A and B are shown apart, each in its own frame.
Chain A
Amino acid sequence: MAFISSGYDPKQPMKNRITDIGPKHYEQFLPPVIKKNYGKWLYHEILEPGILMHKAESGDEVYTIRVGSPRLMGIQTIREMCEIADKHCGGHLRWTTRNNVEFMVDSKDKVAPLKEDLLSRKHTGGSYKFPIGGTGAGMTNIIHTQGWVHCHTAATDASGTVKAVMDDLFEEFTQMRLPAQLRVSMACCVNMCGAVHCSDIGFVGYHRKPPIIDHNVLDQICEVPLAVSACPTAAIRPTKVDMPDGTKVNSVAIKQERCMFCGNCYTMCPALPLSDGAGGDGLIIMVGGKVSNRISNPKFSKVVVDFVPNEPPRWPTLVKKVRQIVDAYSKGAHKYERLGEWAERIGWERFFEVCDLEFTWHLIDDFRDPAYETWRQTTNFKF
């Protein structure tokens, strides 16, 4: 391949450099009906799963078709979306904050052809390219992270676990039969990039073995004080280590019984890797979080499954547990009730029973003072 210059001159790197221009202005991308009625919308309706209608004060209407997306996508797929948007939507489209894609048209008669076109397109392997759904009281796309596709601290894969769970719950994406919308999120380590800590259901990659200390290189590639201060439980201290060749090196010591495997020291120090495919790494499942202020305040999600193993490529245990939770919620919750509101109403002791999940000692909070607040200081409980 021949190198093609963009015009950048590596000998004069600061010449003609443009900086600090920010993003393109959104106004140049708005479809005409959106631009015209900006800030003047009256109400909306969900006509059917995946299809919205917004009515403006002017009487104008815009119809939106929402489709699922794997988030990780090639430009061939983006170009195909552009082709669809050119054909049906005057060359406009948008993404949502949950990585779905929305095609908009300005009259109702344009909806059916667009819908038919979208659903007719499939990958060679058989999966839909553009499944319609993700609206109303159903399940929508799973917010997720990089996993083994790009990240160095991942304890599981993001794209694979998400595909496995979305396949199993696909009907909840294309329907609106749950008590309220169900937000599912995934993160591949406890950094929780994204929304796991505040979702109806979240699954998170995590470790169960302390780091392996690479004393050979630690002092050369890590700032030891940063590794020490990276630990939430103060399990790490600086030390000197006698090497087999008789030399003494600066390194760290880790009190293993104080380590809870968060991996934050590895984030700071490449000499402290901890991933473990031999049974150590897997996932936890959290539930009951929400970010909206509707009826109840925003909530954090809580850990309800202490470990499911990594089982690539389809993670059957994870898929099964998530399904158990969704089914019990769907059956038990009142209309408008988010999963966390339902669990709090029936009591967590009942939640574990109806979801058929085991309550283990790992689920009892033991992190500093706030842990006490999560224990039960009342006789109000159910047998």
Chain B
Amino acid sequence: MAKHKTPLLDELEKGPWPSFVSDIKREAESRAKNEKGVEYQIPVDVCDDLLGVLELSYNDGETHWKHGGIVGVFGYGGGVIGRYCDQPEQFPGVAHFHTVRVNQPSGLYYTTEFLNQLSDLWELRGSGLTNMHGSTGDIVWLGTTTPQLEEIFYELTHNLDTDLGGSGSNLRTPACCLGMSRCEFACIDAQAICHDFTNEFQDFLHRPAFPYKFKFKFDGCPNGCVASIARSDLSFIGLWKDNIRIDQKAVKAYIGGEIPPNGGAHAGRDWGKFDIQKEIIALCPTQCMWMEGDTLKINDKECNHCMHCINAMPRALRIGEDTGCAMLLGAKAPILDGAQMGTLVVPFIKCEAPYTEIKDLIEKLFEFWMEEGKNRERVGETMKRVGLYKILQVLEVEVDARVVQEPRTNPYIFWKEEEVPGGWDRQIADYRSRHKM
């Protein structure tokens, strides 16, 4: 028997999409029955009270979580999001309802053995509710009490060989697409570099030392399956520099209708017979493709590697073999100065372990931003304030036309004094000798 009446939430058990309400109720029932005899370390009815407080929010249209909450584990400055209900008498089961961020394996592959171990721990010491996964990538454990935090951390590190993720003004948990594990487009080993960088920068991840948060994301190609260009302060996107590999026999098979375009992604509607001219050549953003007889040609020098032709004919076209990544800086959500996507700062860099060259760039960037960034200023905003050129100087990378979409339109151009013959120290008397007042 449910503890609280939830007529509004009950409506969300209907419909075909997996119902989070049914899922929470399932967890509530499991805890109430406790068939395994678990010594629950937080209130048994935590899930019932979560539904109760959520129903209250549905009734009055306002959140019932108190502002903020500062909790954590010794040695770290982040990893746990503290939260307290603003109606603790009515819903004591969620009086404390802290979230624990658990660092996920790169690419989000799991064995059932590991997931079951995680579940056993969270069932004992938490609500049993999770987010799989948080937007940044963490396994999110939703709801526990303060005294359990150290216990959870002890078991995580000692028994499950797993650490917390990041929160606060620090390096947040890096994430990647599934990369080379199951994708023929991967230009970089996104999982390997993500794992490597997460370990390399553990100190920055666990102990806030930055002006504000900072995120890394790694995309294997410009398709952006982990959305690094929009959702990470420093975005790594795999690319190739040489030629797209063409299998002309497969091109003919696409033209002949033997292979559906785009891997069959449009199979649910009749779009007519595949037309390579219309669907590939005419849509190429740089117009660098053409047919010579029944042979597909690409002027690779003019290709901007947008992925369209490869996406549309994955069996005929493959990425090149000289691969690396581009680095883009400064993506962020709107607060404070407006949303930003990553700005290209390094057009191409090799991406092979131990990634020394890239790590050198990151250290230069961190050193600059930790010194110059204002309180709660994302690096994208710092870049807007000091200018892109300053960032290129800090990184000691070449100024290159690739870093702009277009040159400036205003003529408000700064020069350094040493760039100008004669410098800036001039005498008015000298000027007056040529120009009367």
In the complex, chain A residues 65-113 whose Cβ is within 8 Å of any chain B Cβ = 68-79, 81-83, 85-86, 91-97, 99, 101, 104
**Contact flags A117-146 to B (C-beta < 8 A → 1, else 0):** 000000111111111000111100001010
In the complex, chain B residues 335-393 whose Cβ is within 8 Å of any chain A Cβ = 335-339, 341, 375-376
In the complex, chain A residues 238-276 whose Cβ is within 8 Å of any chain B Cβ = 262, 264, 266, 270, 273, 275-276
Q: Is the CB of A44 within 8 A of B13?
A: no
In the complex, chain A residues 1-58 whose Cβ is within 8 Å of any chain B Cβ = 1-8, 10, 13-14, 16-26, 28-31, 34, 38-39, 41-49, 52, 54
Question: Which among B14, B26, B50, B203 has the greatest number of chain A C-beta atoms within 10 A?
Answer: B26
What A residues does B23 contact at CB under 8 A?
A: 70, 72-74, 76-77, 123
> With the chains together, A224 CA to B76 CA distance in Å?
27
Q: Is the CB of B22 within 8 A of A123?
A: yes
Q: Is the CB of B67 within 8 A of A270?
A: yes
Knowing A23-B103, A23-B104, A170-B17 are in contact, say whether A41-B183 is a contact too (CB < 8 A). Answer: yes
Task: Return A127 CB to nearest CB of chain B, in Å.
Answer: 4
Residues of A within 8 A of B (CB-CB), count: 147
Q: Is the CB of B18 within 8 A of A97?
A: no
B289 beta carbon closer than 8 Å to chain A:
no
A383 beta carbon closer than 8 Å to chain B:
no
Knowing A24-B114, A72-B131 are in contact, say whether A175-B268 is a contact too (CB < 8 A). Answer: yes
Q: Is the CB of B307 within 8 A of A78?
A: no
Task: Return B23 CB to nearest CB of chain A, in Å.
Answer: 5
A167 beta carbon closer than 8 Å to chain B:
yes
> With the chains together, A80 CA to B124 CA distance in Å?
18
Question: Which among B44, B112, B266, B341 has the greatest number of chain A C-beta atoms within 10 A?
Answer: B112
Determine the residue in chain B with the shortest Cβ distance to A196.
Answer: B333
Q: Is the CB of A270 within 8 A of B68?
A: yes
What A residues does B10 contact at CB under 8 A?
A: 125
Q: Is the CB of B17 within 8 A of A128?
A: yes
Task: Return B205 CB to nearest CB of chain A, in Å.
Answer: 8
A198 beta carbon closer than 8 Å to chain B:
yes
Q: Is the CB of B68 within 8 A of A167?
A: no
Q: Which of B123, B191, B263 contacts A46 (CB 8 A)?
A: B263
Q: Is the CB of A34 within 8 A of B109?
A: yes
Stretch from A155-163, A320-328, A350-358 forming part of the interface with B: A155-163
B47 beta carbon closer than 8 Å to chain A:
yes
In the complex, chain A residues 188-220 whose Cβ is within 8 Å of any chain B Cβ = 190-195, 197-198
What A residues does B335 contact at CB under 8 A?
A: 190-191, 232, 262, 264
A382 beta carbon closer than 8 Å to chain B:
no
Stretch from B220-228, B294-302, B396-404 forming part of the interface with A: B220-228
Task: Return B309 CB to nearest CB of chain A, in Å.
Answer: 10
Q: Is the CB of A367 within 8 A of B203?
A: no
B11 beta carbon closer than 8 Å to chain A:
yes
Q: Is the CB of B135 within 8 A of A176?
A: no
B243 beta carbon closer than 8 Å to chain A:
no
B151 beta carbon closer than 8 Å to chain A:
yes
> With the chains together, A19 CA to B74 CA distance in Å?
10
Q: Which of B268, B283, B307 contacts A176 (CB 8 A)?
A: B268
**Contact flags B174-185 to A (C-beta < 8 A → 1, else 0):** 010110111110
A230 beta carbon closer than 8 Å to chain B:
yes
Q: Is the CB of A6 within 8 A of B314?
A: no
Q: Is the CB of A370 within 8 A of B338?
A: yes
Q: Which of B24, B112, B225 contacts A93 (CB 8 A)?
A: B112
Q: Is the CB of B186 within 8 A of A192?
A: no
> With the chains together, A292 CA to B290 CA distance in Å?
24
> With the chains together, A92 CA to B182 CA distance in Å?
14
Q: Is the CB of B30 within 8 A of A76?
A: yes
> With the chains together, A94 CA to B107 CA distance in Å?
8
> With the chains together, A352 CA to B385 CA distance in Å?
36
> With the chains together, A296 CA to B22 CA distance in Å?
41
What B residues does A195 contact at CB under 8 A?
A: 135, 227, 230-231
Taking A93-B109, A292-B223, A293-B229 as given, write out 14 further A-B residue pairs in contact, using a Cβ cutoff of 8 Å, ordered by the A residue number: A7-B155, A22-B202, A26-B107, A29-B109, A42-B318, A44-B263, A91-B112, A92-B109, A124-B22, A127-B22, A149-B54, A160-B9, A176-B269, A291-B229
Which B residues lie at the A interface, using CB under 8 A? 8-27, 30, 39-41, 44, 47, 50, 53-54, 57-68, 74-76, 81, 83, 97, 99, 103-116, 119, 122-124, 128-133, 135, 142-143, 147, 150-155, 157-158, 160-163, 175, 177-178, 180-184, 186, 189, 191, 195, 198-199, 202-203, 206, 222-227, 229-231, 237, 260, 262-269, 271, 279, 283, 285, 305-308, 311-312, 314-315, 318, 333-339, 341, 375-376, 405
